[in-house]
């Protein structure tokens, strides 16, 4: 691999959509996104890859290798960012994949085809998270309103035609920043995700009665806000009970939950809230744990004094990553004499939909202070370079001559 070439590509792509003091604004389908994709396409052409952009905006660069009829190894990540994101989430994985493939190609070491991908719209938005990778997997189930589709230059036909024939692919590899503090704190350079959490979201709506906040006696109010807060206090008592400090150590239940929105209607300081609604998000690498938690929440909801509903918004199952690919990555780390850690991924990734189609695995590199989705997001040059080296050596085991000689 060429360290300088790789690091300068990370730096240059990190400038496209960067706003000083605010972070990276290279959101899916934006002008900055298209510019970033053109920049990476330019690097792919310079590296003598066959380059194409598919019908939903994903970028592909391909080497045929020596045996072009063999199924390809696909590797990459996403090129879009959250608004105000950092310079490493997603695009580090695309550029690492490019450097690893390019380096093997330049050494004449590629036996089978290798394809580098920069996915569009992993971070959510109108099309939902991991849109680009779900589109290639034929896994886009619900579409937004036609005018939203048209504004993104998309159509049902375009989404359908992005689907890949996975009999022509044999594995997917994705390098990504950890986006959490585990590797950084423990000073371990490489994480090997065992599974990617499933994400389930419910919309909870508590129904009270809006009324005059000054004239309605306290004991006659049907205050939706008050009841929702009581509900959440009881819920979090149960959550703390299930994964309190000493239990978290053992990682018994292995889940997280979040209430990140809370809305009141009609939303006036002088009116008793008639409706309180919030989103409850549950994540775990074990779908039965999510089911158990949802059941507990529903029980609690039914015991409250006001009527309430619990409506499923999204449900993405947990995904187990391929054991033999993970073993290959572990072996590579052992050969390089560097530490690696098997760990779950608490964030969703493009590898989730891909893992439903072909054997898939990920390589995590440390996030400084565990910070991500923030302009402060950082991974040291040393850690990035180690990550690319692990990726390249793993790719060589999968697609290189050495692996096909015996
Ligand atoms: Zn990402």
Query: From the CA of 303, how far away is ligand 1's center (Å)?
Result: 39
**Does 89 share its domain with 151?**
yes
- Same domain? For 138 and 240 the reply is no
User: What's residue 15's pLDDT?
Assistant: 97
- pLDDT recorded at residue 314: 86
Burial 235-271 (b: 16+ CB within 10 A, else e): beeebeebbeeeeeeeeebbbebeeeeeebbeeeeeb
- Residue that is written with structure tokens 């690893």 in the block: 100
Q: How far is the CA of 168 from the centre of ligand 1 (A)?
A: 25
How confident is the model at residue 128, as a pLDDT? 85
Q: Are residues 180 and 32 in the same domain?
A: yes
For residue 61, the CA-to-ligand 1 centroid distance in Å is 20
Nearest Cα residue to 174 out of 385, 400, 349: 349
pLDDT for residue 406? 41
Clarify whether residues 172 and 231 are in a common domain: no
Whole-number Å distance, alpha carbon 78 to ligand 1 midpoint, is 6
Q: Are residues 325 and 389 in the same domain?
A: yes
Instruction: Please give the pLDDT value at position 251.
Output: 54
Asked if 171 and 209 sit in the same domain, the reply is: no
Point out the domain boundary residue: 283, 316, 349.
316
- Number of domains, the chain: 2
What are the start-end ranges of the E strands in 298-358? 308-316, 319-320, 340-345
CA 356 – CA 107 distance, rounded (Å): 32
CA of residue 122 to ligand 1 center, whole Å: 7
The per-residue pLDDT for range 189-204, each reduced to its tens digit, is 999 999 999 999 999 9
Q: Are residues 207 and 77 in the same domain?
A: no
Residues 243 and 335 occupy one common structural domain: no
- CA of 79 from ligand 1 middle (Å) equals 9
CATH number at residue 8: 3.40.630.10
Q: What are phi and psi of 6, to 5 degrees?
A: -65, -50
- Asked whether residue 350 falls in the same domain as residue 253, the answer is no
Angle of the 91-106 helix axis to the 31-46 helix axis, nearest 10 = 10
How many angstroms separate the alpha carbon of residue 364 from the centre of ligand 1?
Answer: 11
Tens of each residue's pLDDT in the chain, 406 residues:
999 999 999 999 999 999 999 999 999 999 999 999 999 999 999 999 999 999 999 999 999 999 989 999 999 999 999 999 999 999 999 999 999 999 999 999 999 999 999 999 999 888 888 999 999 999 998 899 999 999 999 999 999 999 999 999 999 999 999 999 999 999 999 999 999 999 999 999 999 999 999 999 999 999 999 999 999 999 999 998 887 655 555 555 689 999 999 999 999 999 999 999 999 999 999 999 999 999 999 999 999 999 999 999 988 889 999 999 999 999 999 999 999 999 999 899 999 999 999 999 999 999 999 999 999 999 999 999 999 999 999 999 999 886 655 4
CATH code (residue 210): 3.30.70.360
How far, in Å, is the centroid of ligand 1 from the Cα of 319? Answer: 16
CB–CB of 44/58 below 8 Å? no
Q: Which of 266, 301, 316 is the last residue of a domain?
A: 316
Distance 227 CA to ligand 1 centre (A): 37
Q: In angstroms, what is the span from residue 247 Cα to ligand 1's centroid?
A: 29
Q: What distance in angstroms lies between residue 232's CA and the mean position of ligand 1's atoms?
A: 30
How far, in Å, from the CA of 297 to the mean position of ligand 1?
30
Distance 399 CA to ligand 1 centre (A): 25
Q: Is there a single domain that holds both residue 97 and residue 170? A: yes
How far apart are the C-alpha atoms of 74 and 117, rounded to whole Å? 7
* Distance of CA 220 from the midpoint of ligand 1 (Å): 49
Residues 16 and 133 in one domain: yes
CA 308 / ligand 1 centre spacing (Å): 35
Q: Look up the domain containing 192 and give its range.
A: 3-196+319-404
Q: 205-247 pLDDT, tens per residue? A: 999 999 999 999 999 999 999 999 999 999 999 998 887 655 5
Query: 357 with 231, same domain?
Result: no
Distance 179 CA to ligand 1 centre (A): 8
Which pLDDT score, from 0 to 100, does residue 253 have? Answer: 60
The rounded distance, in Å, linking the Cα atoms of 243 and 238 is 9
CA 309 to ligand 1 centroid distance, Å: 33
For residue 219, report the distance from its CA to the centre of ligand 1, in Å: 49
Pairing label, strands 169-177, 360-365: parallel
Among 316, 345, 373, residue at a domain's last position: 316
In the reported structure, the alpha carbon of residue 120 is separated from the centroid of ligand 1 by a whole-number distance in angstroms of 11
Output the CA 349–ligand 1 centroid distance in Å. Answer: 6
């Amino acid at each position: 691999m060429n360290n300088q070439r790789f690091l300068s590509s990370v730096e240059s792509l990190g400038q496209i959509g960067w706003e000083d003091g605010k972070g990276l604004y290279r959101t899916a389908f934006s002008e900055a996104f298209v510019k970033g994709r053109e920049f990476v396409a330019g690097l792919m052409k310079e590296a003598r890859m066959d380059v194409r952009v598919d019908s939903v905006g994903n970028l592909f660069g391909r080497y045929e290798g020596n045996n072009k009829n063999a199924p390809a190894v696909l590797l990459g990540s996403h090129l879009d960012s959250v608004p105000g994101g950092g310079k490493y989430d997603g695009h580090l994985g695309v550029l690492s994949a490019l450097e690893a493939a390019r380096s093997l190609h330049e050494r004449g070491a590629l036996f089978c085809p290798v394809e580098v991908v920069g996915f569009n719209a992993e971070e959510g938005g109108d099309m939902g998270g991991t849109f680009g990778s779900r589109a290639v997997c034929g896994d886009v189930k619900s579409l937004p309103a036609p005018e939203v589709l048209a504004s993104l230059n998309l159509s049902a036909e375009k989404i359908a035609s992005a689907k890949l024939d996975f009999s022509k692919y044999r594995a997917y590899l994705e390098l990504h920043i950890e986006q959490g503090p585990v590797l950084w704190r423990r000073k371990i350079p490489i994480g090997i995700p065992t599974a990617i959490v499933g994400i389930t979201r419910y919309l909870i709506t508590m129904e009270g009665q809006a009324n005059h906040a000054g004239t309605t006696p306290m004991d006659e109010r049907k205050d939706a806000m008050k009841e929702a807060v009581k509900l959440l206090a009881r819920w979090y008592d149960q959550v703390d009970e299930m994964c309190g400090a000493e239990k978290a150590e053992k990682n018994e239940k292995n889940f997280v939950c979040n209430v990140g929105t809370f809305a009141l209607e009609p939303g006036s300081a002088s009116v008793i809230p008639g409706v309180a609604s919030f989103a409850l998000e549950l994540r775990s690498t074990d779908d039965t744990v999510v089911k158990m938690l949802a059941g507990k929440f529903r029980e609690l909801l039914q015991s409250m004094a006001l009527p309430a509903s619990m409506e499923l918004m999204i449900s993405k199952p947990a995904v187990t990553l391929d054991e033999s690919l993970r073993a290959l990555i572990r072996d590579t780390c052992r050969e390089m004499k560097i530490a690696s850690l098997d760990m779950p991924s608490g964030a969703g990734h493009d590898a989730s939909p891909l893992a439903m189609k072909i054997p898939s695995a990920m390589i995590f590199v440390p996030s400084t202070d565990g910070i991500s989705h923030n302009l402060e997001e950082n991974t040291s040059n040393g850690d990035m370079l180690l990550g690319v080296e692990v990726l390249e050596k793993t790719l060589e085991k999968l697609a290189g001559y050495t692996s096909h000689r015996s």
